[in-house]
Amino acid sequence: MASSNCWQAPIYITVSVVLAFFAISTALHSSPPGDSAPSTKPITHKLSLNASRTLRKSGFKITATLLQISPEIFLSSPNTTIFAVKDSAIANSSSHPWLLKDLLQYHISPLSLSISELLKKSQGSCLPTLLRRKNIAITKVDAKERVIEINHVLVSHPDLFLEGPISIHGVLGPFFTLDSQNVSQAQALIHLPGCQSTSFLSHISDSMDIIDWTRIIRLLSSNGFVSFAIGLNSVLDEILQDHRDLKAVTIFTPPDFAFVAASPSPLLHKIVRFHIVPKKLTFMDLASLPEKTLLRTMVPDQDLEITGNGNITQGVNGVDIAAPDLFSSKKFIIHGVSQAFQMTELPNASR
């Protein structure tokens, strides 16, 4: 019994370190006043509990515990594939919290992929991860033998869990190795195999070189705009297809978009695109525009209109910009608005 307790001790220590780190990280990057907290737990509690039980039975106890206690670490995207690593790989990194964060995020993709779907991909295909600007690559695939390697690591436990938007596979080891003398530079030390954009990710990867849509969806989902993130995720393929030369975007996200999520698909797609302007406009840019200036959206012949005179209550389509410059990068900016925009002419849902 004593030996069993000694073996389990590193698990509890590692879990405590990880949870403490993420608690501090969340506090430091909390949402602006007035934003609601992400509604991850009510949506994913049953799924995360079932997935956690499956992982524990298969020997991935640290990942199982983290998933059960803090599912938001893993489920910040509407769709998720988790590549679970052995307890020893996580425990060995427990003294370096930032490395732990990178390790976990690099083994999670914001796509839901079963082993059958993965086996359809060609060697060299890349998959996005939650670790910013770091992809993983399919380095070996044998559909006949049902063998696949990612970053030269064998997927040893395929289809551990497949339910709803969550897919989980166990892997033989971690997807990257680090120089233990310089773990503070974790992301820079990740050695990626050659990765090319092929199969279903070709147009997505090309576009992600310009705009990091995965990061946008993750930011929205993890900061209380879950319903809009789900809507954006559902229309993303259409946006990438129709706007291949897109250089930057401005996104206006409302706090409640659930009523739209229940709309017919064509209507949902148009309303989501009505909240996206294909250029980057900071709050200062918007405030400098004259009243009644039109902003072209991603919906043909459906523009937004500046309402206000450059003061702090600057609005768009009569809706206040409640949280200006909420998130920003070189290629995108997100503004929080007080409510969803109403289209002047609702498109026919049957079209």
The least confident of 30-39, 91-100, 176-185, 258-267 is: 30-39
pLDDT band with cut points at 50, 70 and 90 for residue 53: very high
CA 162 vs. chain centroid, Å, equals: 19
Pick the CATH number of 43-171 from 3.40.140.10, 3.30.450.40, 2.40.30.10, 2.30.180.10: 2.30.180.10
Residue 171: the pLDDT is 94
Delimiting residues of CATH 2.30.180.10 domain(s) in the chain: 43-171, 213-336
pLDDT of residue 117: 93
Strands (E), the chain: 80-84, 108-109, 126-128, 135-142, 147-150, 153-154, 157-163, 166-170, 249-253, 276-277, 294-296, 303-307, 315-316, 319-328, 332-337
Per-residue pLDDT tens over the stretch 116-129? 999 998 888 888 88
**Maximum average pLDDT range among 184-198, 200-214, 273-287:** 273-287
Architecture of the domain made up of 213-336 = Roll (2.30)
pLDDT band at 203 (very low <50, low <70, confident <90, very high): very low
Predicted local distance difference test score (pLDDT) of residue 179: 44
Quick one: pLDDT at residue 158? 96
Minimum mean pLDDT among 115-124, 177-186, 237-246: which range? 177-186
Query: In terms of Cα–Cα distance, which of 78, 75, 80, 50 is closest to 64?
Result: 50
What local confidence, expressed as pLDDT, does residue 250 receive? Answer: 97
Q: What is the pLDDT of residue 264?
A: 55
Neighbours of 308 (CB within 10 A): 17
